[in-house]
Amino acid sequence: MPAALEKRLRAFLKHGFRENPNRYLFANRNGKCYLVGKVTEYGLWPLQKALSIERTGFHAFRRAAASELLEEGAPLAVVQRQLRHKDARTTPQKHGHVVGDSQRRAVETPAAKIERHVVVKFLPTAELLPISL
C-alpha cells in the first residue's frame, strides 16, 4: 500500500470510522455496506455532473489507473498483476493502445527537446550565392 494511502486510511480510522456489527471499513448509517449502484447513483454521477464530466461507472477508474501505470512505464506484467488479470493476453488487449501511444511519445519527446535546445542557422555558402555574369 502506498504510504500516502496508508496515511489517509489511518486518519479515517482515527477520526471517521464508525463501529458497526459487521466490522465493515465503510458502512452506511445502518451499519451495512454501501451498494455499488447507490454509491454510483448518489455519489459518483452527481459529482461528474457538477464537474461536467461524462457519466461513467467505477470501472473507468480501474481502466484509468491501468493506463496511467502503462503511461509511466510500468511493464505489462506489473500492470497485469495489479489488475489481477489471470490471462496475460487480457492486459494488452484492454490497454494496448496506451503502449502504442507511449511508444509514439517516447520518440517524439526527445525530438521535441532537441528542437527546443538546438538553434540551427543556415548561412548561404558560396555554392548557394547567385553567380554574377
**Model confidence over 66-87: pLDDT tens digits?**
888 888 888 888 888 888 888 8
pLDDT digits (tens, 9 = 90+) for 2-56: 889 899 999 989 988 888 888 888 888 888 998 989 999 988 999 899 999 899 9
The CB-based long-range contact list for 35-41 (8 Å cut-off, 24+ gap) reads: none
| Residue whose C-alpha is closest to residue 80's, from 70, 71, 88 | 88
- Evaluate if residue 62 carries a pLDDT over 50: yes
Dump the DSSP string for 107-125.
HHHHHHHHHHH-----PPP
More confident residue, 117 or 47: 47
Q: What is the pLDDT of residue 108?
A: 62
DSSP 42: I
Question: How far is Cα 41 from Cα 49, in angstroms, rounded to an integer?
Answer: 11
Q: What is the pLDDT of residue 122?
A: 47
